[in-house]
Structure 1
């Protein structure tokens, strides 16, 4: 309702699992029913396609701008190219292009004035065909109730100086200001949806660049308490998995929908694990001397939100990797499908080692990656490997709690964290996490067992 009554800009704060995109789809649907023309945008093709697929399921027809090769197959029929090809008005243009090709082929074997005349006729047919197709493109866009595009794609020349009744922008917290201003400039009002407590925009540069482009319009408006709404009921996580993110990031406001509050792996027919009985479990590696290691090559540089290690995988932990692999196999031995499991490693070097250790399991559908590949996604069970273990309590970019918030909110029914409490415990965020883990008695030591598969 707030997004439909909005003034210039309305914010929708969408914590993990709260149905942010589903809410946007309903906002778009209601605006279309009121006769409005709506521009839907997001920073990435993936986010645009996700919104487009949801709109299609809700019965909202749209036109997807962008190169067909970058559009999800499920939306291929909605691309401007596909709709132009299906438009009867372009049949003549296609005939002209076929005729032009035939003329050029004929001209290749001729000389003098005859060849010149053939080439001129072919060029004239090509111009007429291009004009006919452009007219069809403009007509399709003019008729469309909803246009889907990336933020950059909103500057498409075929849109001219068109102003929409509303711009609906998903993942607005991942859009640097210059990108966000493109769709904003094309609408009378705007609805921005995002979560400033998850990953921000990818910005490569030094501190000065981080200070300017690392902050987003959404964050600044949220800090100024601009009118908006926070979605508080989440439909993903068991309440024990939800509680720590809720306390640490969302002022304790999140609540679990009844259908997910108590759901667990057993509901899927997965065998119980007496050593990891709850939906949330910490394997503490303190004292195991599984110390982190670094590769020699380090080009330096500063990256906002995507740390240097992703371009130079430099931090890994062999002991952790072997334990995480064992935990994954233990989950599989309980009867959970590989496609229902994800492993999120804090460092890409660690993810690489885990992929090597779990080749067969990956081939069967188990996913392994870093945080950046999992925002907006979910799995029945997630193993998070925090990797860092050293004698000095150095945690590097793990101090970026937004990244950790994403990692800890991907699991639906079971979350297993492998971490060294001695290394992480001096940081306030992780100290709070350890207190919560103790509060619900959801921890075990890596000393206690070797995580063998269950019989």
Structure 2
């Protein structure tokens, strides 16, 4: 909720008038807040006059309207998210302490605290062949790694989609991949979306909950499934407070509307849906509606018990929700993920100990008593945003995906392709090899392999046209606003605008010709973002996309320009304590340098950045390959973080650089062994 208290600015006193409104949307990149407050609209109409714009007879106030009113603004956070996370936490805690139902207790423990003893693979007679027929694939652009082809001569026998469909292990299945590997649906490659389609094809009784941390990410999942699934098969579940304008027109047919607001469909309609897609937080709607596996199991037990009071129920109750797939799981806080997890947690089975083993069908496509949990994301990129110091001290800024990824049970099987518990992608399908070289060596254990056919950027500003990457050194000073709440760097703003102007002046020489809308600019500081956007508007370049690094997570652009801002050491400690900037922020740096597909330009103070070991390695890469422009750097070159991709260019190095690259390559292989 937003509270606006009117003030008379000249007299510096309040008017005694206040308004309450409901926040309906945030546009972080533009710095806009959309809220709903009819009394304020009436107040403006009475004391200011009509606006400049009308739509269907309704008055519309836009940023172009000048309103001579001033307000003190405060925000009252909604208690709903905290309440839903608390309910989910208590549900999981109760399940883990369940004294009688071992299946429910073990499921909760395996999902959150898996141990090596929980991993098994049944190779018995009732396991089907561990791959799916080639003709069954919906997306024929998937690589073998994503399909898990099952061929014995390939290292990835049991991976990704096939492993998920076969439900090969009771512990969460992790799909780990860098940006562009097709974890969600990067055309032409897909994993999460293909997994949903294959589950529906091979498990006729399955019902899937598909989640993402944010509404836009959730809408994207629906957009990518709508070509295959019909409205009677898939539901896009929205909270009633969400406005129609926020939902893409293409997916509105998958939503249910009642009394001019989004709602949960009737019981019989909901139960017939094969896939329910919602944000992690909105999964709480199913909790409120008693549509969880636990509530449905109790309902089934009560009905069967009432119909057959003298019959002892021996068969286990099959869960209604058989699969939970969470995309971009690394971006959500663990308590947030507990909400959808509490929905699919199996219900109480009662006294079924004699026959419960019959329902445990891991490694087959028969229904299982325990639903399957799949987490998809990249623990090397930005995790959940947590501003509370107390919450960060309690490690709530560590996602469930990250915590599981670091557990011994997953670390022990990262190189074992015969166990369906963990699968890292190694193909980055969307970026130029030169752009992949630093992140591959620094963050991904030299595992990235370029496999995309992109356009080419032709620009005279590149010192080495074969390597579309440039670091522009800058020594201009940063400035702060609002008592160091945020920072900007005027010199870097000028360099950014000059770079964009130069690129577009030669844009016709690129293939295809470069457009302003294909250029993205990012910075870790909000004030720098706003000032760059303001300057670009003055230059008639408003089509250039400008945002924070967080805004760009999950997105890609043909050209990306990074403005680092920081140029003095005295504020680095404060940045680190507050989680700001790009220095000593490994995950934010990784997101920033992996957004570009065809050209990456970094503008910053190399003398400051080299204090960070990861940036030091990046700068060494630019110096080795003559991709640095600016003040001389006092930086010794060594063979650290020389990727295999970079080693393939060794024939083009001079003798000294060739020796450094060869030494780095030898060290890389020794360390790998």
Fold conserved (TM > 0.5)? yes
Q: 2:550 aligns with which of 344, 349, 372?
A: 372
Q: Does 1:19 align with 2:182?
A: yes
Match of 2:148 in 1: none
**Separation in 2 of the partners of 1:250 and 1:258?**
18
Q: 1:183 aligns with which of 327, 335, 340?
A: 340
What secondary structure does 1:281 align onto? strand
1:270-326 CA distances to partner (integer Å, 9 max, x unpaired)? Answer: x654556331111112xxx4111222524xxxxxxxxxxxxx3x2111111111111
Q: 2:208 aligns with which of 38, 41, 45?
A: 38
Match of 1:297 in 2: 483
Q: 1:212 aligns with which of 391, 395, 400?
A: 395
**Separation in 2 of the partners of 1:165 and 1:24?**
16
Match of 1:98 in 2: none
Query: Per the alignment, do residues 204 and 394 of structure 1 end up closer, same or farther by CA in structure 2, a change over 3 Å counting?
Result: closer
Match of 1:169 in 2: 326
Q: 1:316 aligns with which of 488, 494, 499?
A: 488
What secondary structure does 1:414 align onto? strand
Query: Per the alignment, do residues 340 and 185 of structure 1 end up closer, same or farther by CA in structure 2, a change over 3 Å counting?
Result: same
**Contact 1:343–1:367 (8 Å) recurs in 2:** yes
Match of 1:281 in 2: 470
Q: Does 1:359 align with 2:537?
A: yes
Q: 2:423 aligns with which of 221, 229, 248?
A: 229
**Separation in 2 of the partners of 1:417 and 1:373?**
17
Q: 2:604 aligns with which of 419, 430, 439?
A: 419
Match of 2:278 in 1: 149
**Separation in 1 of the partners of 2:229 and 2:588?**
35
Q: 2:595 aligns with which of 410, 426, 438?
A: 410
**Contact 2:523–2:565 (8 Å) recurs in 1:** yes
Q: Can you give the 5+ residue segments of structure 1 that lack an aligned partner in the other structure?
A: 86-93, 95-132, 299-311, 448-455
**Separation in 1 of the partners of 2:265 and 2:504?**
54
Match of 1:103 in 2: none
Match of 1:108 in 2: none
Match of 1:386 in 2: 564
1:218-275 CA distances to partner (integer Å, 9 max, x unpaired)? Answer: 1111011432101111111101101111111111111111525xx5224xxxx65455
- State the Cα distance separating 1:159 from its structure 2 match: 5.5
Q: 1:328 aligns with which of 454, 479, 500?
A: 500
**Contact 2:462–2:470 (8 Å) recurs in 1:** no
Match of 2:266 in 1: 137
**Separation in 1 of the partners of 2:540 and 2:235?**
36
1:77-124 CA distances to partner (integer Å, 9 max, x unpaired)? Answer: 11122xx79xxxxxxxx9xxxxxxxxxxxxxxxxxxxxxxxxxxxxxx
Q: Structure 1 residues 150-159 or 415-424, which shifts more?
A: 150-159
**Contact 1:235–1:257 (8 Å) recurs in 2:** yes
Counting only pairs closer than 5 Å after superposition, residues 63-212 of structure 1 correspond to structure 2 as: 63-67=235-239, 69=243, 70-81=246-257, 137-156=266-285, 157-158=288-289, 160-162=291-293, 163-187=320-344, 188-212=371-395
Query: Per the alignment, do residues 210 and 237 of structure 1 end up closer, same or farther by CA in structure 2, a change over 3 Å counting?
Result: farther
- State the Cα distance separating 1:160 from its structure 2 match: 2.0
**Separation in 1 of the partners of 2:610 and 2:280?**
40
Q: 2:621 aligns with which of 426, 436, 441?
A: 436
Structure ranking higher on relative contact order (CA contacts 8 Å, 6+ apart): 1
What secondary structure does 2:337 align onto? helix
**Contact 2:292–2:342 (8 Å) recurs in 1:** no
Query: Per the alignment, do residues 352 and 388 of structure 1 end up closer, same or farther by CA in structure 2, a change over 3 Å counting?
Result: same
Match of 1:303 in 2: none
Query: Per the alignment, do residues 165 and 354 of structure 1 end up closer, same or farther by CA in structure 2, a change over 3 Å counting?
Result: same
**Contact 2:569–2:608 (8 Å) recurs in 1:** yes
Match of 2:8 in 1: none
RMSD after superposition: 2.5
What secondary structure does 1:2 align onto? helix
| Aligned residue pairs, count | 376
